[in-house]
A and B are shown apart, each in its own frame.
Chain A
Amino acid sequence: MKERSVIHFNVADFAVSVERVVDSGLRQCPLIIAPLQAARAVVYDMSEEAFRDGVRKGMALRRATKICRGATVLAPRPALYQKAMTAFLKEVLNYSPLIESGFADGHLFVDVTGTHRLHGPPPDIGLRIRRHVRTHLGINPIWTLGTSKLVSKVASRLVKPVGEYIVSPGDEALFLAPLPVALLPGLTRQELRKLEEFHLTTVGALAGLSRQQLMVPFGSRSDYLHDISQGIDDSVVSTSSLTTTQTVDCEQSFADDTNDRQEIEAVITDLASRAGQCLRSRRQVARRVGIWLRYSDGSHVVRQASRRVGSNSDFVLHNLALSALQRAWTKRIRLRSCRLVYDRLHKQSPQLLLFPDKGVRERRQEKLLGAMDTIRNRFGHQLISIGSRSSIAGDVRSTIH
């Protein structure tokens, strides 16, 4: 198998970095990002200075401001972070199409295997991208290079908040051996506790055990543990998060945080309707929806729902989104924003069926939606809507890719 070259970019404290680009005055002081009006707000992100004072993500804001008294507190702006992430991604796309990104978190895996004739050696690509991003976007990502996502990810944990690390091919196991097991990604708290009970504190100690030995305490996870301890990771850099040209993405931020189910369902009706209009205009259908619920405390929940047959009907897309909402509805905390991403898109078949499979109701709905689209295209989306949709206050961001 050909040796891979995977670069991991990581902008430490991404939200803070973006806020500091927008307002350079924030560079001089410790910064905490947290919802300002939420009663039990927790820290969404914090600067290195605040971190050094003891502030951590998820910590109650009241406690964080006591620990770090001089800190400036700002409300999170997910849309801004997403915009910065998109710009970052755009820079990286110049070097490789194989990019795996998180959602506005400043993390990117880039597989640059085989690009050497075009762009030169992988370390040079890492350095050049960092320079470009720093010059054009003002953010300074860590970059690390390894033969897998595992190795480059662990390396980036060693050089936070700034720096670079190149792990030479063939050195993976030796590189990992002296490191604490807690640096390995993908381990659960229970697994870490169990490793500690066995005094397996370093990756090297874990690597010294065979698959069979690991099987006894870790069962089906033994293979995974064995592989990562040896630096073996065949997982590919997945571009699924990147296929934005194959998604329809709509988001609404609420003017006031809410956990009123009726209000949220009304928003979903509106977002599904916007997505439906977009899909129909592109003659596409979607088979899956992902729902992102962002809470006042900075946490978020992502769930999805899919169907076998694609559709672009507002009614079907709405029901699909409600199924996803049902799965995501796990907290009583108020919501800050709601986002729907429709994907698994494909072209709507132009071929009419000999015997129409739609009932009278569906055909009527189709005609109705066609008429609504005509009106909306001419007078705007807000002019006409489906009856269940209530008046919505807030910032609607509809990103149709």
Chain B
Amino acid sequence: MKASPGKVDIIIPAGPKMAGASHQCTLYVGTCGYSYTEWIDSGFYPANTKNSAMLGLYSRCFSVVELNYTWYQMARADAVARMVDRAPEHLLFAAKLTRTMTHERAADWREQLVLYCQGIAPLKKRLVAVLVQLPPDFHRTIDNRNYLAALLDGLQEFPIAVEFRHVSWAVDSVFAELERRKVSLVTVDEPELPGLFPSLDIVTNPALFYVRFHGRNSTGWRSGNMQKKFNYDYSEEELHSWTETYIRPMAARADCGMLFFNNHVRAQAPRNAQKLVRVFAAGKRSLV
């Protein structure tokens, strides 16, 4: 067994525009969530796997996981601490911000933010980023800009990644502000539908770039059913092409990259994540 499965170091050779030596970027590949009964049915986890054993099995394949249950409910320090205690040492975590601060913004969001910070505190140095995923109806208005700024201020003790779902945020001033704050802009792969935030190879934080693969199921995207929305299987060609178009250019400008697959249906996410690692391995051989 590898010490850090799903972790890949890629070396970007010095190009004509790059002065000095080649650049190394460490990539971690993982999935959004790990606790899916469906992954037992699909054979990723062995038959009869208990929920409590899933994280251990997951960490045999990957070294990072995005916690999505913190989106459904407020993170609670005791439960998070129990999970961290059970997790192997090499496993890193990204934690999604609770929906009461993103999708269903509550009037008492400042109190919620304090609770959230307390809740994820046990992750300590194993936290790679807090993922702030903003909903499609969160447009770039003055109110929303102010809100986002206040939210990022409240989270400044943690590394942060922001995922926009609405195209109005795809402007240089937003990227410049994220860069100033050293906040990572999440690069997404999703269906090409009007109004969605586009796939961009912009790096706003040289310490970390963050990618989420949602799948390209355009018919299921707005169905309201996760089983349809995230039902997509990436081919090796698609991943290879994406790597060349987006990941390598971003890796050239960052020290570290987190790549998460969200197409959890029928365990396509972990399979595609493993496929991407193989794509990197093949590319590495050809590059180094």
Contacts and interface: CB of A to CB of B under 8 A. Distances in A.
Interface of A: 3, 5, 114, 116-121, 123-124, 126-128, 163-166, 168-171, 174-175
Contact of B73 (A124, A166, A175): A166
Nearest to A178: B78
Interface in B203-254: 224-227
Interface residues of B, number: 22
A117 B227 contact: yes
B89 interface: no
A34 to B, nearest CB: 31
B205 to A, nearest CB: 30
B116 to A, nearest CB: 14
6 contacts: A3-B50, A120-B225, A121-B38, A128-B224, A166-B69, A166-B72
Contact of B82 (A120, A121, A124, A171): A171
Contacts of A171: 52, 79, 82
Contacts of B227: 117-120
A8 B161 CA distance: 33
Nearest to A117: B38
A175 B78 CA distance: 9
Binding site secondary structure of chain A? mixed
A164 B72 contact: yes
Nearest to A128: B224
Contacts of B78: 174
B51 interface: yes
A165 B38 CA distance: 22
A123 B35 CA distance: 11
Contact of A165 (B37, B52, B73): B73
Interface string B19-57: 000000000000001011110010000000011100000
B51 A3 contact: yes
B73 A116 contact: no
Contacts of A123: 69, 72-73
A333 to B, nearest CB: 43
Contact of A174 (B36, B72, B82): B82
Nearest to A177: B78
Contacts of A164: 72-73
A168 B79 contact: yes
A378 to B, nearest CB: 48
Contacts of B99: 127
Nearest to A165: B73
A120 B51 contact: no
A168 B36 CA distance: 12
Interface string B61-84: 000000001001100001100110
B214 to A, nearest CB: 14
B36 A116 contact: yes
Given A116-B37, A118-B227, A124-B226, A169 B72 contact: no
Given A120-B226, A121-B36, A127-B72, A168 B41 contact: no
A132 to B, nearest CB: 9
Interface in B75-98: 78-79, 82-83
Contacts of A163: 73
Contacts of A174: 78, 82
A121 B227 CA distance: 9
Nearest to A166: B73
A128 B52 CA distance: 25
Contact of B52 (A114, A166, A170): A170
B51 A170 contact: yes
Given A121-B226, A123-B69, A169 B52 contact: yes
Given A168-B51, A169-B51, 10 more contacts: A117-B227, A120-B227, A121-B33, A121-B37, A164-B72, A164-B73, A166-B69, A168-B83, A170-B51, A171-B52
A126 to B, nearest CB: 8
The 5 A-B pairs at the shortest CB distance, nearest first, are namely: A170-B52, A169-B51, A120-B226, A123-B72, A116-B37
A54 to B, nearest CB: 24
Contact of A168 (B33, B37, B52, B225): B52
B50 A119 contact: no
In the complex, which of the residues B33, B72, B79 has the most CB atoms of chain A within 10 Å of its own CB atom? B72
Contacts of B41: 117
Nearest to B100: A163
